[in-house]
Amino acid sequence: MVFIQTLMSRKDGMGKALPRRNASILSPLRYPGAKRRLAQYVGEVLRLNELKPRLFVEPFAGGASVALQLLQDGFVEKAVLGEKDPLVASFWKTVFSDPEWLIDQLKTVPVNLATWDRFKFGKPHTTRERALACIFLNRTSFSGILASTSGPLGGRRQESQYKLDCRFPLKTLVKRIRQCAALHSRILFVNNGDWAHTLEKVKSKALHDLDVFCYFDPPFYENADRLYNFYFDGKQHKALHDRVAKLRHPWLMSYDPAAPIIEMYSHNGDGPRHVDLLYSASGTERPRAARELMITNLPILPRATRLWRSSEEWKGPGARPAPNGTFVKRGSRHGNR
């Protein structure tokens, strides 16, 4: 049976907010659709279902925010990161094996358009070179997008108030890289390959089904060609759907709520599926509704799924100034505590 949870509108009220906690580890990468705030939600999913996986698998690693935070918080023992983009895969391989080289390069690389062009249009040949190109372009391109369509922050004329180096805080990047590198002994491997290849490599480890937990964050269905170097067509979205339906270990998936995706997973009869609608902020002064689906084969999802607080909640006893956050709303009576 499939359960699709329906979104509560603002006039219907707001769901209960998850307890707020600050992230203790942050990815050095800016990434389209970054899931940093979802780490709290995924951790609650694991707790409610009484799971403590030996291995957390993120086949679409990107910024790897969820895996990093869950490792740091002790929800999982080890992690596997999979990433098809060789720039991103090389970055994570270097962070966990050669971080000081990367840090030394960041301290000396000129942050200018000539360097941007060299990394954007050059062809790096080694893991190290790809890693440096990845973080440089990620921190100096519009919204951190590595796709060929993305241009430099500030534009070619650098006439914007936001210049090329405005997202290149060297001290912060060094701190984040070293925080991530400290987890190197808990990274089983980083795979440069597609999601299916990553799953096959995990399968070869012959772990018990309940010892493995997969978190899938596939490319968006809408506008993906403008966000990623590697994205899906309709057949690839369907191939992922068919494969996860056969997985025997627990999994959770986040998706943009495109109608074909909702239709596809709504008709999956292989056990219960929960679909949540999440709202995220744009990082600007006003929150922007960026809906997202949560799909899983687990029996329980958190009842408190709103990752933000209202103005009234922040004004309560002991309130702090409200940061930009991620909004989650849902309304369902099926299979929840």
Residue 278 has pLDDT above 70, yes or no: no
Please report, for residues 106, 142, 295, the alpha-carbon distance to residue 145 in angstroms, rounded to integers and kept in the order given.
19, 6, 26
Higher pLDDT, 139 or 36: 139
Least confident of 188-197, 287-296, 305-314: 305-314
Higher pLDDT, 295 or 83: 83
Q: What pLDDT sits at residue 254?
A: 87
Query: What average pLDDT score do residues 52-68 get?
Result: 95
Higher pLDDT, 187 or 33: 187
Q: Are 68 and 180 in contact (CB under 8 A)?
A: yes
Instruction: Report which of 216, 214, 188, 197 is spatially closest to residue 96, judged by C-alpha positions.
Output: 188
Query: What average pLDDT score do residues 247-267 get?
Result: 85
Q: What is the dihedral of CA 134, 139, 140, 143, to 10 degrees?
A: 100
Give me the percent of the chain exceeding a pLDDT of 90: 51
Q: In which residue are the tokens 């968006």 written?
A: 220
Most confident of 40-54, 102-116, 255-269, 299-313: 102-116
pLDDT digits (tens, 9 = 90+) for 195-233: 999 999 999 987 888 899 999 999 887 665 665 666 788
Residue 243 has pLDDT above 60, yes or no: yes
Q: What pLDDT sits at residue 116?
A: 97
Q: Average pLDDT of the chain?
A: 79
Residue 234 has pLDDT above 60, yes or no: yes
Q: What is the dihedral of CA 18, 22, 25, 31, to 10 degrees?
A: 70
pLDDT digits (tens, 9 = 90+) for 109-125: 999 999 999 999 999 99
pLDDT digits (tens, 9 = 90+) for 161-184: 889 999 999 999 999 999 999 999
Q: What pLDDT sits at residue 284?
A: 40
Higher pLDDT, 316 or 219: 219
Q: What pLDDT sits at residue 112?
A: 96
Q: What pLDDT sits at residue 161?
A: 85
